[in-house]
Amino acid sequence: MASTPASASIGATNAARKIYPIVKYGDAILEKPTATVKKFDADFEQLTEDMFASMYAAQGVGLAAPQIGLTLRVAVVDVTTGKNPEAKIVLANPEIIHAEGEVREEEGCLSIPGFRGYVMRPQFVTVRAQNAKGESFEIRAENLMARAFCHEIDHLNGILFLQHLSMLKRDLIRRRIKKLKKQGEW
């Protein structure tokens, strides 16, 4: 998920990390389901660190594996955009086990740069997932973090935030992207 313009920052960087290019809307991989993570080894841990680095480079608060071209059920979230190392959350094989309340707020996506839209999301969610080492945990989140969790878990199911918008708004954005593609700017 893209950060709000006001909270955008350069974020934490690590020179040793691989920065992946972000896959943009129009690439079929963004709308495919992902495969369960089964192997929690050093390579997987490395991948999650590279995902954080790629997310910070793109000034995002969340990034899912399909956005770097991998159909794997893992996403990373840091609503502080790298300001607090404690806020780094790896969600491997996540599932929402509880949701409560509703908040309608604007959100964006690193794969759909330049476009934002209002999406209704739960105010509170509890997510069960595994961390980079494969350890299971549960985390309760509210507001922005709850929104980021829902947005990233959607990605892992091949769903983009555009699908939550009204048909009118969605078509408007699709038309603009089509135009940008024609102009070679997408």
Residue 63 near Ni ion by CB under 5 A: no
Which residue has the CB atom at the shortest distance from Ni ion? 109
Nearer to Ni ion, 62 or 82 (CB): 62
DSSP 8-state symbol, 123: S
Stretch that binds Ni ion, among 15-23, 28-36, 98-106, 107-115 (CB under 5 A): 107-115
Nearer to Ni ion, 65 or 129 (CB): 65
Residue 68 near Ni ion by CB under 5 A: no
DSSP code string of 134-169: S-EEEEEEEHHHHHHHHHHHHHHTT--GGGGS-HHH
Q: Which residues contact 71 (CB under 8 A, 6 or more apart)?
A: 29, 32, 33, 34, 35, 65
Residue 109 near Ni ion by CB under 5 A: yes
* Active-site residue, 152 included: yes
Q: Pick the catalytic residue: 95, 105, 135, 152?
A: 152
What is the C-alpha to C-alpha distance for residues 78 and 166, in angstroms, rounded to an integer? 28
| Catalytic positions | 152
Residue ranges in contact with Ni ion by CB under 5 A: 1, 109
